[in-house]
Structure 1
Amino acid sequence: MTQASSSFSLQGKKGLILGIANDHSIAWGCAKMAVQQGAQVVASCLNDKARKYVEPLTQPLGIDLVNCNVETEGELQALVDHAVKTMGQIDFVIHSIAWAPIEDLHGDVVDSSREGFARAVSVSCHSFAEVAKLCAPHMPNGGSMLSMTYLGSGEAVPNYGLMGPVKAALESMVRYMAMELGPRNIRVHAVSPGPILTRAASGIAEFDKLMQTAIDKAPLQRLVTLEEIASLSAFLCTDAASGMTGQTIYVDAGVHAMD
């Protein structure tokens, strides 16, 4: 492998990937791609219920799977401790967790409860800062941290509701984290995929209409695939992306460019 081609590889890198729920999860696509690119991966799923669906995916690839509910005190710390003990260090982190109480998610933003909004921000946004704080001391060579966002952060998308403001906060957090972690050579991005039918997305009302609207607006006239999202994420974790940080990067078949 030449020096140029190796910069596009994850060979020898150690990654922590949060949020695998099933074989449709963005986190699963990223974990599978990372292993194919030569990385060692520790991944998380929510609990034992999710583990029944996730472990048959991760086990054949040698991915070390750990239960982690970011709302439970100590579980995120335990996940990072396990990753460091298993791999020695961390080179990249992919955070793919989003959740809001269904009653708040399906209602108008003005009707959302204070408690529901706070929980949505805590799980979907602030947990990214938490895992960054825990992982940064174990990234001696710097590296990459990614989280997943959506177009509804910057414009009002029907039925996306509460998650729009939450993702806007996440994208702002990415910029501040990029500024703060840059001196440690840690790069931070938000990846903004077009809609795909993940477990989290299935909780959004009339999600089938949202997907059809995306197809109708997209210059490529289709939805993106899990593999395309994973490929972009993998690239951002390679040395080839070493000059990039603080960005929201779209992989949505061009929908973001249309009015």
Structure 2
Amino acid sequence: MTDATNTALRPSLSFDLAGKRGLVVGIANASSIAYGCAKAYRDLGAELAVTYLNPKSERFVRPLAEELGAPIIMPCDVTTENELEAVYAEIDRVWGKLDFILHAIAFAPMRDLHGRVIDCSREGFMTAMDVSCHSFVRMAKLAEPLMEKAGGGSMQTVSYFGAEKVVEHYNIMGPVKAALESLTRYLAAELGPKGIRVNTLSPGPLATRAASGIDHFDDLMAKATERAPTHHLTTIDEVGAYSAFLATDAAKSVTGQLVYIDGGYNIIG
């Protein structure tokens, strides 16, 4: 068989994001998982829209977004009326379509996050669910028509092993992330016929600003390093590489999945 024949028989897989446009929500600083993903998207040729939480965080996020060449840089606090909608309106105006989104935000009031699950207040629980879970529903709904214009797309969110197993000190975020993981599967089923894939990334513990709110997080990272088969912590660049693959056309048949990027920690009993 000739090389030409071999080439003709190979599947047409695109491992790049050239010509694709994506929205990244959740960059807080250069240590953020969302930033690791954004760098990987950009390295594969994607054009990005980047959001920041508020004026205080803008001074950290805007320079990163500008380095990535993002033509759209906007505030987005999902608890503020119409801010998320404004981001999508600008995407529609500038691009007219959208190929992928990354939802990498989570929050619980400190008192509820540091307390027992059974002691979590109703207000704290609702806030955690709204910011960490329902905001993904809102992002997906706003992205749906823009992805239809693009002929399909990729939606991704970020979870953690504490959604599946009880992880000490992860507390109320465990049930909230479990809801997020279930949501991924339902959205994947509903949006699949439109060529839209929905997946959850589950990285190992990373030293991010969000993680710093969890009690004894240093102990959690040390335990992960010790127990994971690879004996090293996951990096934001490793998470970004996998996320970028899921956004490419090469992953068109991957949807509704929970993808562990944790050095194999999740397989250890």
TM-score (norm 2): 0.94
2:109 is aligned to 101
Which one of the candidate residues 83, 86, 97 is aligned to 1:75?
83
Structure 1 CA distance, aligned partners of 2:236 and 2:46?
18
Instruction: Note if 1:198 corresponds to 2:205.
Output: no
Instruction: Note if 1:21 corresponds to 2:28.
Output: yes
SS at match of 1:24: coil
Q: CA deviation at 1:219?
A: 0.2
Instruction: Note if 1:161 corresponds to 2:171.
Output: yes
CA-to-aligned-CA distance 1:24-47 (integer Å, 9 cap, x gap): 111111111111110010011101
Q: CA deviation at 1:87?
A: 2.0
Structure 2 CA distance, aligned partners of 1:40 and 1:183?
26
Structure 1 CA distance, aligned partners of 2:91 and 2:38?
14
Return 5+ residue gaps in structure 1 as ranges: none
Instruction: Note if 1:90 corresponds to 2:83.
Output: no
2:226 is aligned to 216
The structure number with the bigger radius of gyration is 2
Return 5+ residue gaps in structure 2 as ranges: 1-6
User: CA contact under 8 A between 1:121 and 1:166: conserved in structure 2?
Assistant: yes
CA-to-aligned-CA distance 1:215-245 (integer Å, 9 cap, x gap): 1110000101110000000000000001110
Structure 1 CA distance, aligned partners of 2:197 and 2:100?
9
Which consecutive aligned stretches of 4+ in structure 1 deviate over 4 angstroms post-superposition?
Answer: 2-6
Structure 1 CA distance, aligned partners of 2:79 and 2:161?
26
SS at match of 2:209: coil
2:236 is aligned to 226
Residue type matched to 1:104 in 2?
D
Residue type matched to 1:224 in 2?
T
- Matched residue pairs, number? 258
User: CA contact under 8 A between 1:7 and 1:240: conserved in structure 2?
Assistant: yes
Residue type matched to 2:60 in 1?
Y
Q: 1:84 to 1:4 in 2, by over 3 A?
A: farther
How well do the aligned residues superpose, as a CA RMSD in angstroms? 1.3
User: CA contact under 8 A between 1:40 and 1:87: conserved in structure 2?
Assistant: no
2:3 is aligned to none
Structure 1 CA distance, aligned partners of 2:204 and 2:52?
23
Q: CA deviation at 1:6?
A: 6.1
1:1-259 map, 5 Å: 7-63=14-70, 64-139=72-147, 140=149, 141-259=151-269
Q: CA deviation at 1:62?
A: 1.1
More deviation, 75-84/165-174? 75-84
Residue type matched to 2:46 in 1?
A
Identity, % of aligned positions: 51
Q: 1:204 to 1:237 in 2, by over 3 A?
A: same
